[in-house]
Copies of this chain bind each other. A is one copy, B any other.
């Protein structure tokens, strides 16, 4: 595989101020894979579905070139289901329910053909499952990992074991604070990097993202959108695009990582433009590239204020 997405498949029930949708194709593996395939192929998935997972959802993933040979289907469980409600302030949401279902039985098996994947994405999952997946990888490509507040609070030791094995952690600002007790993101980043990951990306939603790589800091703004319909999957699609763009680089150095953060932000900004993963499904690589060029215009500025040429 060029990119391997280890994560969840989910049926999402999402309420926004504008609509209410049910059994939407969701889960971290879904968003990661749909984003990564905009940059590279093949993209494979290690995930678990239940008996109620619609065949249409599977066909959609296959139609986008996602390899599903790592997908387990459990006939005696339903699919992991998540329900959430977004507020008028679309950056705020309540989780309505989390039914683990098949996910509680997930014992990941990485197909032989996936073992030497160039970039491995460990989507948000229990650190134990992340470790079991990691241990099945012989080639050890670049390993990028997500996590969430639940694992930070409840399985800190298992999470530390994961952190010691990965190249890059991608989390949001609240998680960085939670992981370190530190409000200052620069100090939080130093603490997290000391736990293992050489590279850290802190995502800040509408405020963009920060890359910490060795002593370098790179900051990308959030793409200015006048309509955010559904933030579900934004973080996962950031990770998928980040991984996909790295997989197409000949060398994963600072320049490649900067581009990956820009591509992550760009694809995440498409993701939130409509509900579920449907904008990710529709968007073309040329549109991603065009938006990525717009990022440059947002931050570039000309030198020269004569008075300060000291």
Contact = CB atoms under 8 A, between A and B. Distances in A.
A272 B228 CA distance: 33
A192 interface: no
A183 B89 contact: yes
A159 interface: no
A263 B305 contact: yes
A301 B218 contact: yes
Nearest to A217: B224
Interface string A59-102: 00000000000000000000000000000111100000000000
A110 interface: no
Interface centre among A208, A226, A286, A289 (most CB of B within 10 A): A226
Copies of this chain, whole number: 2
Interface residues of A, number: 54
A132 interface: no
A285 B309 CA distance: 9
A187 interface: yes
A299 B301 CA distance: 10
B248 A187 contact: no
Interface stretch (A44-52, A160-168, A254-262): A254-262
A183 B308 contact: no
Contacts of A286: 310
A125 interface: no
A40 interface: yes
Given A258-B302, A301-B262, A184 B289 contact: no
A88 B204 contact: no
B307 A40 contact: yes
Interface in A237-264: 245, 248-249, 255-256, 258-259, 262-263
A39 B306 CA distance: 10
Contacts of A219: 208, 221, 224, 298-299
- 10 closest Cβ pairs, A-B complex: A248-B307, A219-B221, A207-B207, A258-B301, A186-B226, A299-B299, A89-B183, A286-B310, A255-B302, A289-B308
